[in-house]
Amino acid sequence: MSDQKFVILLAEDELADAYLVKTALKENNILAELQHVVDGREALEYLQRKPPHYAQAVRPNLILLDLNMPRMDGREFLEAIKLEPTLRDIPVVVLTTSEVERDVVSSYGLGAAGYITKPIDVVDFMAAIRDLSEYWIDLVHLPDTENK
Amino acid sequence: MISQPRQLRRTFLLAVLLFVGGMLALASFTLWRLHDDAVSNGLEISAMHTRGFEDFLTQSLHVTELVAITASEHVSNTRELSLIERSFVSTLSHAPFLRSMSMLNEQGRIVVSSNPANVGKVVDTQSYLPAVTERQEIQRIGAPWSGRDFADGRVATAQAPVEADAASFIPVTRNLTVGARRVTLLIALNSDYFINHISQKLEANEGEVEVMRFDGTLLMSTALSEQPGSMHEYVQSDLHLNEIESGKFEESNQHKKESLSSFRASRLYPFVVVTHLNREYALQNWRTEAKTLLAVMGPALLVIVGLAIAFYRRQLQLAEQRLEAERLHRINATVFDASAEAIIITDLNANIISVNATFTAITGYSAEDVLGKNPRILASGKQSTEFYEKMWNAILQHGIWQGELVNRNKNGNQYEAHSSITVFRGVDGEVQHFIGVISDITLRKQAESELRRSNADLQRFAEVTAHHLQEPARRLASYAERLAKQLAGRIDDEDTQKSVEFIGSQARRLKILLGDIERYLAADQARGKIEPDVRKILDRVLDDLSEEIERAGAAITVGELPSVLVDAPRLVDLFEVAIGNALIYAKPTQEGVPLSITIEGEVKAGRVHYRIFDNGQGIEPQYRERVFKVFERLTTSGEGTGVGLSIVRRISENAGGSAWIEEAVGGGCAVCIDLPIR
C-alpha cells in the first residue's frame, strides 16, 4: 500500500444509504476518503474531472456503485467507463438491493469487480464494508493505468 | 425450356439461309436461262444475217452472170470493139455493183473493156474458183485485187493482201461460147457496194461480216482491219463446207473477240459468208434484264430478310417473355403449394377451381372433395347471415375482406381462422375470380387467451401486493412520526437523530411509492364517470395540492379546458401527477421570480390538447422520453417516486391518446397530453 490516501467514490442517490456507508467506514476505522456523488452522470463527470466541480478530483481507488439512480443508472455507468481506457481498470463494487437483483445484474457481464447486497441489518452492512475495505485497501495493489 | 430461344435462333438462321440460298439459286438459274436464250437468239440473229447476206451476194453474182450472158449477145452480133465497149458501158450503168466489164482473149489479155484503161492488161485467171476444164461455161471467182480496177490494180495474195482501208474489187470470169468463138468475160465486182449494203443491215458495233472463197481467201469484210486477199485457214479446216453448207458457233479468239458466229456457203458460187455477231451486243438485253432482276430482287431480298429478322426478334422476345411467364408461374405455383396458409381460388360464381396442399392439411378436405363446390362447406354455422352479408359487401366494394371466423373441418371439428378474400380482376377490370387465404389461428388464439389470463393474474397480483404493502407502510410511517415526537429534544447524538429522520422519511416515501404503483396499475381502466366540466376536476386537484402549492410559493394559471373522453378519477390522476411534478422539480431560473404553473387546453383537429407547463429549468432533450419509464427520475429529490409520468402516459394511451414533453416558452417543462374530445 502506498502512502497516498485510499479514495472511494460512492455513487448513491439515496442519502440514507450514503450515510450508512460513511458511518460504516468511520466505525470500522477505515482510513479512506469518501467522495459522494448522486448519480451515474455525476460519477462520470467526477472521473473525467469536469469543471467546475470536479476539476481537481482525485482518482478513486475503488468505486461503490448503486444501481438505481436518476439520469444515468449503475448499468449505464459501467458501460460508459468500459469505453474509456483510463477508467476501465478502476475496480467497481456494485451495491444491490437483493440477492435476486445481484444475480440479474451479474448476468449482464458488465465487468463489476464485486457485489455487496445492502442488508437490512445495519451491523451486517458495517461488516460487509469492513471486509470490502480490507480486501481492496490492504490486499490488492492495483496498477495505476492513469499514469502509465 | 432454357434452350427455347437458342432453338428458335437455329431454326431462324436455317430458314433465312435456306430462303436466301433458294432465292439466289432461283435468280442464278433464271439468269443462266436468260443468258442461254440470249446466246441462242444471238446465234439465230447471226444466222439470219448470214442467210440474208449470202442470198444477196449469190443473187448479185447470179445477176452478174446474167449480165455477162446478155453481154455475150452483143459480142456475138459484132466484132466491132467500140460497139462492144459501148455495150459494156451501157450494161454497167444499170449495175452499180459492177465496176468494169472486160473481155479477155485466149492469152488472157484484155482486148475490150468498159474502162478503156484496162485494155492490154493481162489477167491470169487460172487460180479462179471453181477450177474448171476449158470447156465449162461457169462463173468463177478470183482473188481480190487492190485498187479501183485492173488498170491500176494488182492481185492480192496471202503474203501481200490489200492494205487496210485501201480500195479493192473482186474479179469474176465467165467463159462464153459465141458462135464458134470462145470468149472470157472479166468483171470487176465493186466490193464497196456490198460492204455498204451489209453495213446498213449490220452496224459495225453489232458485228462483222466476212466473205471468203472456199479456199479461205478473204474477198471482202466489213471490218476495216481485215485485209482482202488474206488467207483464213479456218474456212477449210473448221467449216467442213464439203459436208455442211451452214452452221453456228461461238468463238472467242484474239482477232474476233467474243462473238456469236454463223456461216453459210453460197448455193451457186464458191464463196462463204461468215457473220461474227458481237457477243457483247447480243447479250446487251440480257445484261439489262439481269440488272433489272437483281435491282428488283436484291432490295426485295433485303426487305424480306429485314422483315424476317424483325419477326424473329419479336418471336425471340415473345419466347423470352413466355419463359419469364413460365418461370413466374412456377414460382407462383411453388408459393401456392408451399404456403403455410390454405389458398382457395374460385370462379366468378364462387365455385372452387383450385386449392393448395395446406388447404387439405387445415380443412381435411382433398382437392377432389371441394372442386366445383362453394366454400360455404367450410362454414361452422357460428357466423350469422349478417356477418356474411357484410363480408360480401366489403369484397365487392373494396376488392378485399379480412377477418376472423370459426370454420369447421371435414371431421366436424371447429377451428378459428384468419381469412382474407381478394377479388381477382381481368385486364378488362371485370371480376373473374375470388382468392381466399385461410390460416388456422386456433393455437394463436389459445396463446393469446393464455397471455391475457396471465397478464390479468399478474396485474391482480401486483394490485393486491401494492394494496397489502400499503398498510404496513402506513403504520411504519405513523410509528416513525410517533417515535420522532417522543424522542424530540431527548436525542443528543447526530447518528441517532439521523436514524430517526431517515426512518420517517423512508416510511413516507414508501407510502407514496405504493400509492403511485397502485395508480399506475389502475391507469388502464376507467374508474368512474366522465365529468364534462374539467375545470371542476382541476379545482379539486388544486385544492388537494394547496399545501404543496403554498410551500412552493407557486402561482397557478388556468386556461380553457375542453372536455375529454376520460373518466374523472383518472383525469384527477393526470393533473395531480403533472402539477405535482412541477411543484417538486421545477425551480425558477430567474432569481426572485416565483414558480409559475399554467394549465390550459385547446381543441386541435377534433382532439383535445392539454399543456401543463412551468417556468422552471426544463428537461434536457435526451431525458424527455426517459422520464416516462417507470421509476425513472432525474433528481434525487426525496419526494419523487419516478412513477408519476409513467401514470400520465399509461392513462393517456389507454384512453386513446398520448403524452410527451416539450420545452415551454422560456425554457420550462411542458407536459403535453393529447386526448379524444368528448
Q: Are B648 and B668 in contact (CB under 8 A)?
A: no
Whichever domain contains A82, its CATH number is 3.40.50.2300
In eight-state DSSP terms, residue A5 is: P
The partner residue sitting opposite A16, judged by closest CB among B502, B633, B634, is B502
Highest mean pLDDT of the ranges A104-108, B65-69, B355-359: B355-359
Q: Is B505 within 8 Å of chain A by CB? A: yes
- For the domain made up of B526-676, give the CATH fold: Heat Shock Protein 90 (3.30.565)
- The predicted-structure confidence for B203-252, as pLDDT tens digits, reads as follows 888 999 999 999 999 999 998 888 999 998 888 888 888 888 899 988 88
The nearest alpha carbon in chain B to A41 belongs to B634
Asked whether the beta carbons of residue A70 and residue B498 sit closer than 8 angstroms, the reply is no
Mean pLDDT of the region A101-126: 78
CB burial readout B657-668, b (16+ within 10 A) else e: bebbbeebeeeb
Task: Find which of A15, A25, A67, A97 to mutate to test the B interface (most B CBs within 10 Å of its CB).
Answer: A15
> Considering the domain boundaries, does residue A34 fall inside one?
yes
Give the pLDDT band of residue B673 (cuts 50, 70, 90).
very high
- What CATH number labels B339-440? 3.30.450.20
Asked whether the beta carbons of residue B505 and residue A13 sit closer than 8 angstroms, the reply is no
Q: Is A70 within 8 Å of chain B by CB? A: yes
CA B164 to chain centre: 72
Report d(CA A56, CA A89) in Å as an integer. Answer: 20
Asked whether the beta carbons of residue B633 and residue A70 sit closer than 8 angstroms, the reply is yes
pLDDT at B14 over 50: yes
**Average pLDDT of chain A?**
83
How high is the pLDDT of residue A1? Answer: 44
- The predicted-structure confidence for B325-361, as pLDDT tens digits, reads as follows 999 999 988 888 888 899 999 998 989 999 999 999 9
Q: Which amino acid is at B137?
A: E
Q: Is B383 within 8 Å of chain A by CB? A: no
- The predicted-structure confidence for A5-60, as pLDDT tens digits, reads as follows 889 999 998 888 888 888 888 888 888 899 999 999 999 999 999 988 899 999 99
* Residues of chain B contacting residue A39, judged by C-beta atoms under 8 Å apart: 636
What is the CB-side half-sphere exposure of residue B639 using CA atoms within 13 A? Answer: 9
Mean pLDDT of the region B583-588: 88
Q: Are B136 and B175 in contact (CB under 8 A)?
A: yes
How high is the pLDDT of residue B2? Answer: 47
Nearest to B172 by CA among B101, B228, B223: B101
CA B60 to chain centre: 79
Report d(CA B570, CA B133) in Å as an integer. Answer: 165
- The predicted-structure confidence for B96-115, as pLDDT tens digits, reads as follows 889 999 988 888 899 899 99
Within the 24-53 window of chain A, which residues sit less than 8 Å (CB to CB) from chain B?
Answer: 38-39
Asked whether the beta carbons of residue A15 and residue B634 sit closer than 8 angstroms, the reply is no
Least-confidence region, from A39-43, B252-256, B618-622: B252-256
Report d(CA A28, CA B311) in Å as an integer. Answer: 102
pLDDT at B20 over 60: yes
The nearest alpha carbon in chain A to B509 belongs to A14
- What residue numbers bound the domain in which A92 lies? 6-138
Taking every pair of Cα atoms in chain B, the longest distance, rounded to a whole number of angstroms, is 210
The partner residue sitting opposite B634, judged by closest CB among A19, A23, A71, is A71
List the B257-265 sheet strands across, edge first.
Answer: B218-221, B207-213, B271-278, B257-265, B246-253
Q: Is B622 within 8 Å of chain A by CB? A: no
Report d(CA B474, CA B508) in Å as an integer. Answer: 8
The nearest alpha carbon in chain A to B638 belongs to A14
How high is the pLDDT of residue B346? Answer: 94
**Average pLDDT of chain B?**
89
Least-confidence region, from A101-105, A136-140, B540-544: A136-140
pLDDT at A111 over 70: yes
Mean pLDDT of the region B307-331: 89
Asked whether the beta carbons of residue B502 and residue A38 sit closer than 8 angstroms, the reply is no
Is ipTM over 0.90?
no
Report d(CA B127, CA B173) in Å as an integer. Answer: 11
pLDDT at B470 over 90: no
How many A/B residue pairs have CB atoms within 8 Å?
24
The partner residue sitting opposite A70, judged by closest CB among B495, B506, B636, is B636
* Residues of chain B contacting residue A16, judged by C-beta atoms under 8 Å apart: 502, 505-506
How high is the pLDDT of residue A147? Answer: 53
Share of chain B above pLDDT 70, in %: 97
Supply the Cα-derived Rg of chain A in whole angstroms: 14
The alpha-carbon gap from B632 to the nearest alpha carbon of chain A, in Å, equals 6
Mean pLDDT of the region A116-121: 76
> Considering the domain boundaries, does residue A144 fall inside one?
no
Q: Is A76 within 8 Å of chain B by CB? A: no
Report d(CA B509, CA B640) in Å as an integer. Answer: 8
- The predicted-structure confidence for B69-93, as pLDDT tens digits, reads as follows 887 777 766 677 788 888 888 888 8
How high is the pLDDT of residue B3? Answer: 59
Share of chain A above pLDDT 90, in %: 32
Report d(CA A59, CA A33) in Å as an integer. Answer: 11
How high is the pLDDT of residue B86? Answer: 85
Q: Is A66 within 8 Å of chain B by CB? A: no
Asked whether the beta carbons of residue B631 and residue A14 sit closer than 8 angstroms, the reply is no
How high is the pLDDT of residue A140? Answer: 66
- For B135-254, where are the alpha helices, taking DSSP H only? 191-201, 234-237
In eight-state DSSP terms, residue B161 is: P
Give the pLDDT band of residue B1 (cuts 50, 70, 90).
very low
Nearest to B276 by CA among B215, B234, B336: B234
Share of chain A above pLDDT 70, in %: 89
Q: Where does residue A49 fall: left (phi above 0), alpha (psi -120 to 50 degrees), or beta otherwise?
A: left
Q: Do domains B39-284 and B526-676 have the same CATH topology?
A: no
CA A108 to chain centre: 18
pLDDT at A125 over 80: no
Neighbour-count burial of A42, counting CB atoms closer than 10 A to its CB (0-12 exposed, 13-18 middle, 19+ buried): buried
- The predicted-structure confidence for B22-39, as pLDDT tens digits, reads as follows 988 988 998 899 999 999
* Residues of chain B contacting residue A68, judged by C-beta atoms under 8 Å apart: 631
Peptide bond before B144: cis, by omega within 30 degrees of 0? Answer: no
Q: Is A5 within 8 Å of chain B by CB? A: no
CA B483 to chain centre: 98
Least-confidence region, from B82-86, B402-406, B611-615: B82-86
Q: Domain segments of chain B: what residues?
A: 39-284, 339-440, 526-676
> Considering the domain boundaries, does residue A143 fall inside one?
no
Q: Considering the domain delimited by B39-284, tell me its CATH architecture.
A: 2-Layer Sandwich (3.30)
> Considering the domain boundaries, does residue A17 fall inside one?
yes
> Considering the domain boundaries, does residue A101 fall inside one?
yes
- The predicted-structure confidence for B622-657, as pLDDT tens digits, reads as follows 999 999 998 888 887 667 788 999 999 999 999 999
Give the Å distances, CA to CA, from B100 to B130, B161, B409. 21, 21, 135
* Residues of chain A contacting residue B636, judged by C-beta atoms under 8 Å apart: 13-15, 38-39, 69-70
The alpha-carbon gap from B470 to the nearest alpha carbon of chain A, in Å, equals 20
Task: Find which of B493, B623, B636 to mutate to test the A interface (most A CBs within 10 Å of its CB).
Answer: B636
The nearest alpha carbon in chain A to B626 belongs to A71
Q: Are B184 and B125 in contact (CB under 8 A)?
A: yes
Q: Is B525 within 8 Å of chain A by CB? A: no
The nearest alpha carbon in chain A to B501 belongs to A16
How high is the pLDDT of residue B424? Answer: 92
- The predicted-structure confidence for B422-469, as pLDDT tens digits, reads as follows 999 988 988 899 999 999 998 999 999 999 999 989 988 888 888 888
Asked whether the beta carbons of residue B632 and residue A39 sit closer than 8 angstroms, the reply is no
* Residues of chain A contacting residue B505, judged by C-beta atoms under 8 Å apart: 16
Task: Find which of A17, A26, A71 to mutate to test the B interface (most B CBs within 10 Å of its CB).
Answer: A71
The nearest alpha carbon in chain B to A122 belongs to B499
* Residues of chain A contacting residue B498, judged by C-beta atoms under 8 Å apart: 19
Report d(CA B629, CA B644) in Å as an integer. Answer: 9
How high is the pLDDT of residue B600? Answer: 96
How high is the pLDDT of residue A3? Answer: 54
How high is the pLDDT of residue B254? Answer: 61
Give the pLDDT band of residue A2 (cuts 50, 70, 90).
very low
Give the pLDDT band of residue B562 (cuts 50, 70, 90).
very high
Report d(CA B263, CA B240) in Å as an integer. Answer: 11
Asked whether the beta carbons of residue A38 and residue B623 sit closer than 8 angstroms, the reply is no
- Total structural domains within chain A: 1
